[in-house]
Structure 1
Amino acid sequence: MCTLALLGTVLSVGGALMEGQQQKQMADYQARAYEQQAQAEAQSSAFEQSQERHKQDLLQAQARAQAGASGVGMSGSPTEVLAANARQGQIDLKGIQYSSQLRQNNLNDQAAISRFSGKQAATASIFSAGSALVGGLSKIYDPTKAVSLGGSAFSPRASAAIAGGYSGLY
């Protein structure tokens, strides 16, 4: 009976520890996935910014060509319009960059939270295993079968004979 109880306790402890480790592994995997998404977001943003720059360069070139074809000189009002368009283009690029950085930060935060959750699960599994160990061992212990210290190893009659002398032996 004691062996089965001990085996059950060992299995319970091992199961609690394995569960915590599996949860930690899943959390680490999720964290890596978030980090990969953040990296993909950065690459996507860089491509989008490149496309936007190219689009703005084409628009600026078209505006200069139209101004030149109309016979208007490139000073005064047409220059100011081109400069305003360039400034707006930079604002658009910064907006793309900013929103991408926000998404990357969010994904990196989620990765950190996932890793923290995994560490918490591993720690909780250690406490759960300890609790299962104590609970299991307490079920194995039977105070009626335990060795008591300080008592006599002899039967009550023999103990009485040694302590007070037993006259029935002579």
Structure 2
Amino acid sequence: MCTLALIGTALSVGGALVEGQQSKQMANYQAKAYEQQAQADAQSAAFEQNQERHKQDLLLSQARAQAGASGVGIAGSPTEVLAANARQGQLDLDAIQYGSKLRQNSLTTQAAISRFSGKQAATASIFKAGSNLVSGLSGLYDPTKAVTFGRGAFPPPPGGFSTGGLY
């Protein structure tokens, strides 16, 4: 019976440790997924910025062509309009970059949290395994079968007969 209890305790301890390692591994996979999302977002933002830059270049070219076709020189008021449009275009590009950085930071933070929770799960599994080991081993102790000191090796005879003293 003692052997079965030891085997059960060993399985319980091993199971707790394996569970913790699997949780840690899953958290690491989740962290990698978050990091890949952050990288994909950066690539998407770069593409979006290039598209926006191309669109702005086309609009600027059209505005210059219209100003030139109207016979007005590119000086004074048309130049100021073109410069204002260029500034606004740069603000739009910066907004795209800023939004992407926010999303990337969020995903990177989620990855760090996932890794941390995986480490916590692995640590918790060690404590759970230790607890299972202690409770399993303590279940093996039977106080009725334990050796006690300070008493005779044989139980007292029925009827209270004692060999030791006169009372």
**Structure 1 and Structure 2 fold alike (TM over 0.5):** yes
**Partner of residue 143, structure 1:** 143
**CA–CA separation in structure 2 for the residues paired with 1:78 and 1:122:** 66
Q: Deviations over 1:115-152 (max 9, x none)?
A: 11101111111111111111100111112223345666
**CA–CA separation in structure 2 for the residues paired with 1:129 and 1:115:** 21
Amino acid at match of 1:28: N
**CA–CA separation in structure 2 for the residues paired with 1:43 and 1:136:** 54
**Partner of residue 42, structure 2:** 42
**CA–CA separation in structure 1 for the residues paired with 2:49 and 2:124:** 45
**Partner of residue 23, structure 2:** 23
**CA–CA separation in structure 2 for the residues paired with 1:12 and 1:128:** 9
Q: CA deviation at 1:99?
A: 0.4
Q: Larger deviation: 107-116 or 143-152? A: 143-152
**Partner of residue 10, structure 1:** 10
Matching of residue 76 in structure 1 with residue 76 in structure 2: yes
Alignment RMSD (CA, Å)? 1.9
Q: Using the aligned pairs only, state the percent identity.
A: 78
**Partner of residue 105, structure 1:** 105
**Partner of residue 126, structure 1:** 126
Q: Structure 2: where are the runs of 5+ without partners?
A: none
With normalisation by structure 2, the TM-score equals: 0.89
**CA–CA separation in structure 2 for the residues paired with 1:149 and 1:126:** 36
Q: Deviations over 1:74-96 (max 9, x none)?
A: 00110000000000000000000
Amino acid at match of 2:6: L
With normalisation by structure 1, the TM-score equals: 0.87
Q: Deviations over 1:140-165 (max 9, x none)?
A: 111222334566668989xx99x99x
Q: Structure 1: where are the runs of 5+ without partners?
A: 165-170
Q: Deviations over 1:8-52 (max 9, x none)?
A: 111111111111110100000000000000001011111111111
**Partner of residue 92, structure 2:** 92
